[in-house]
Amino acid sequence: MELKFRRNPDYQTLSDEVTSEKMFMDRRHILSAAGFLGAGSILGALPACSEPQQTPAAPATASGHPAPGAKLTAKKAAYAVTDAATVEEAFAGYCNYYEFGTSKDDPPRYASLMKTSPWQVTVEGETDAPGAYALKDLIDYKKLEERIYRHRCVEAWSMVIPWIGVPMKDVIAKLKPKATAKYVQFVTYLNPKEMIGVNRPVLQWPYTEGLRLDEAMNELPLFAVGAYGKSLEKQNGAPLRTVIPWKYGFKATKAVVKIRFTTTEPSTAWNKANANEYGFYSNVNPNVSHPRWSQASERVIGGKGGFNERRNTEMYNGYEKQVGALYAGMDLKKNY
Question: Site residues (CB under 6 A) for ligand MTE?
Answer: 14, 95-99, 153, 188, 207, 236-237, 249-250, 252-255
Nearer to ligand MTE, 119 or 126 (CB): 119
Q: Taking the complex as a whole, how short is the minimal distance between the CB of residue 49 and ligand MTE, in angstroms?
A: 25
Q: Taking the complex as a whole, how short is the minimal distance between the CB of residue 248 and ligand MTE, in angstroms?
A: 7
The β-bridge partners of 185 are 210, 260
Cα 34 from Cα 319, distance rounded (Å): 33
Q: Taking the complex as a whole, how short is the minimal distance between the CB of residue 126 and ligand MTE, in angstroms?
A: 23
Nearer to ligand MTE, 126 or 299 (CB): 299
Of all residues in the shown chain, the one whose CB is closest to ligand MTE is 249
| HEC letters along the chain | CCCCCCCCCCCCCCHHHHHCHHHHHHHHHHHHHCCCCCHHHCCCCCCCCCCCCCCCCCCECCCCCECCCCECCCEEEEEECCCCCCCHHHHHHCCCCHHHCCCCCHHHHHHHHCCCCCCEEEEEECECCCEEEEHHHHCCHHHCEEEEEEEECCCCEEEEEEEEEEEHHHHHHHCCECCCCCEEEEEECCCCCCCHHHHCCCCCCCCEEEEEHHHHCCCCCEEEEEECCEECCHHHCCCCEEECCCECHHHCCCCEEEEEEECCCCCCHHHHHCCCCCCCCCECCCCCCECCECCCEEEECCCCCHHHCEEECCHHHHCHHHHHHHHCCCCCCCCC
Nearer to ligand MTE, 110 or 126 (CB): 110
Q: Taking the complex as a whole, how short is the minimal distance between the CB of residue 57 and ligand MTE, in angstroms?
A: 25
Nearer to ligand MTE, 145 or 233 (CB): 233
Q: Taking the complex as a whole, how short is the minimal distance between the CB of residue 208 and ligand MTE, in angstroms?
A: 9
The angle at the Cα of 324, spanning 322 to 126, to the nearest 5 degrees, equals: 85
Nearer to ligand MTE, 245 or 249 (CB): 249
Q: Taking the complex as a whole, how short is the minimal distance between the CB of residue 154 and ligand MTE, in angstroms?
A: 7
The β-bridge partners of 226 are 164, 231
Q: Taking the complex as a whole, how short is the minimal distance between the CB of residue 334 and ligand MTE, in angstroms?
A: 23
Q: Taking the complex as a whole, how short is the minimal distance between the CB of residue 14 and ligand MTE, in angstroms?
A: 6
Nearer to ligand MTE, 145 or 298 (CB): 298
Nearer to ligand MTE, 126 or 184 (CB): 184
Cα 189 from Cα 180, distance rounded (Å): 27
Environment class of 325 (CB within 10 Å of its CB; exposed 0-12, middle 13-18, buried 19+):
exposed
Q: Taking the complex as a whole, how short is the minimal distance between the CB of residue 95 and ligand MTE, in angstroms?
A: 3
Nearer to ligand MTE, 66 or 108 (CB): 108
Cα 317 from Cα 215, distance rounded (Å): 15
Nearer to ligand MTE, 87 or 126 (CB): 87
